[in-house]
Structure 1
């Protein structure tokens, strides 16, 4: 046994040199992951336990610790902010609004809190996947471009210095949009039959398939659809495989391009897997996102709701800079609206980010 005061020294018996800072880095890395996992988006029966899942902490600890040991910032990759839903019963229009702004402020604030633990800081690369599958949603490439540019302007306007966008256009610069999607699919996408086998096995792939099918059905059942609901359901079940196929391709490409980043997802993720599901908002539906909904303010707090639900509850439309921004629901009327989920345990709740 070494005498006191010799920690880190090399003994004459060939003991390895120990780093006195290693325990501090380990504890700091755990604290960083606790900040992230406080907002974890979990599936039902996904295997996670406790307010902060220790199994997920252990699974991602090496990636975070590696960045901290090298003295570099901690990078996160989040495929998100694709394009607004084409269904006017869910959203205010094709451009980002307060729902996105609140989510961006939350993500930037999360990086600020990580910087208080790890001074080199953190950054989140928002890997917009709108161009990846917008044709399956019936959304034009022009609308995707407008949405991406709107997010860029919003990031600059609110001073979200820890956020940056990355799109399919950055990967295949100069190619046409149809060709971009074809190159992505041919290089990285699994076959539909492989996906069908995963879905048949149940668990997380089945939950993902059902969730995306439901969203496709909602997105495509707008006022422009004139067919039967059963026909649309069959169509959406088929389209869901295409969305999952391209999403997996995009995810695999990002993993190749950013191997040292911590991978986040807007979808619920099973315990101790490669991605951490993250909540971008307080909402009673864990699948609801800012681009499928509107922000609703009640008594200084915000939640997400579908536009039709907000209007049915008596919420009033609010404007910013002459454009529709969000809804305001008087507290007396809020009892008729769906109850928002409890705020995740963190120091800067999303629903007060703009209060």
Structure 2
């Protein structure tokens, strides 16, 4: 092997490892959080492809769909301080990568609210308002490393139910396949249980019994996973070389890298299922609105509720 080729290979490996090391402190996982960069071969290979071509590293992050419909968890249906902090974090991560890899990096936020809106009981107009507000935040805060991608970029002004049907028919796996996976695969079972719990927690107006709600949420959880797989396949088709991030916990070595956006009580909490609390020491934490309200005072921004803030000496 020529010396220059060997040197280039070593440089690519070193830069790719350094980039991944920036992500590792924010790994969202239910397993070992001390895994080294070498335990993530998928991500090293994908990052290395961009490094070799001297191109910006592109990350895709399905998420930021819409706010939970449960008012005990969130402040409203529009982005607030939780999203603002999370977007700023992602942009700063890209800026940090730029100090290691000169072309830098960017994150494409694949906002999937319309994919799931009917399943999580959120009106499509609220999904549109949330996604549009995300784009405005990115522009207003000058987060130049971020962009938003949603079904409107793929299917334009087609009615939302038709968009969902198109995605499901074209990309979704069969329910029989998912039922089998939940029975036999531990990770799929954990995902199914986590989504079922979220659906239960997000339901604020169910009039039947608790057991009936549990049955309905278990059924809907399969639909959510089905459409999540479909959305992931669509995103991969449109961004085929991207490094796939996930807001769900992922073990070391998985094809997707789970990323934690803000401090939270567990590995599943997201800004759109919670409210931001600024603690007395200046740090931030995501909590359900009802819990955050008991710890601090409500702060408004631009005439809308933004977050809660503790006073000096308040509980942390």
TM over 0.5, shorter chain? yes
Question: 2:225 aligns to what?
Answer: 244
Question: 2:9 aligns to what?
Answer: 22
TM-score (norm 1): 0.86
Larger deviation, residues 31-40 vs 76-85? 31-40
Question: 2:38 aligns to what?
Answer: 54
State the distance in 2 between where 1:18 and 1:301 align: 46
Contact residue 62 and residue 110 of structure 2 kept, 8 A: yes
1:255-270 map, 5 Å: 255-270=236-251
Deviation at 1:51, TM superposition (A): 5.1
State the distance in 2 between where 1:294 and 1:287 align: 14
State the distance in 1 between where 2:291 and 2:21 align: 34
Contact residue 278 and residue 285 of structure 2 kept, 8 A: yes
Contact residue 38 and residue 52 of structure 1 kept, 8 A: no
> Is 1:304–2:286 an aligned residue pair?
yes
Question: 1:194 aligns to what?
Answer: 177
Select the structure that is richer in helix. Answer: 2
Q: Structure 2: 5+ residue runs without aligned partners?
A: none
Larger deviation, residues 248-257 vs 287-296? 248-257
TM-score (norm 2): 0.96
Say if 1:273 and 1:178 are closer, same or farther in 2 by CA, change over 3 A: same
Q: Structure 1: 5+ residue runs without aligned partners?
A: 1-6, 10-16, 336-355
1:140-151 map, 5 Å: 140-151=123-134
Cα deviation, 1:310-348, whole Å, max 9, x if unaligned, reads: 12x33210011111000012353315xxxxxxxxxxxxx
State the distance in 2 between where 1:270 and 1:21 align: 30
Contact residue 133 and residue 243 of structure 1 kept, 8 A: yes
Contact residue 38 and residue 51 of structure 1 kept, 8 A: no
Contact residue 276 and residue 285 of structure 2 kept, 8 A: yes
> Is 1:276–2:257 an aligned residue pair?
yes
State the distance in 2 between where 1:241 and 1:79 align: 18
1:2-17 map, 5 Å: 8=2
Say if 1:193 and 1:331 are closer, same or farther in 2 by CA, change over 3 A: farther
**Aligned counterpart in structure 2 of residue 104 of structure 1, from 87, 95, 98:** 87
Deviation at 1:49, TM superposition (A): 5.9
1:212-251 map, 5 Å: 212-220=195-203, 222=204, 224-251=205-232
Cα deviation, 1:166-187, whole Å, max 9, x if unaligned, reads: 0011111231111100000000
RMSD across aligned positions (CA) = 1.5
Cα deviation, 1:58-89, whole Å, max 9, x if unaligned, reads: 33212111111111110000001000000000
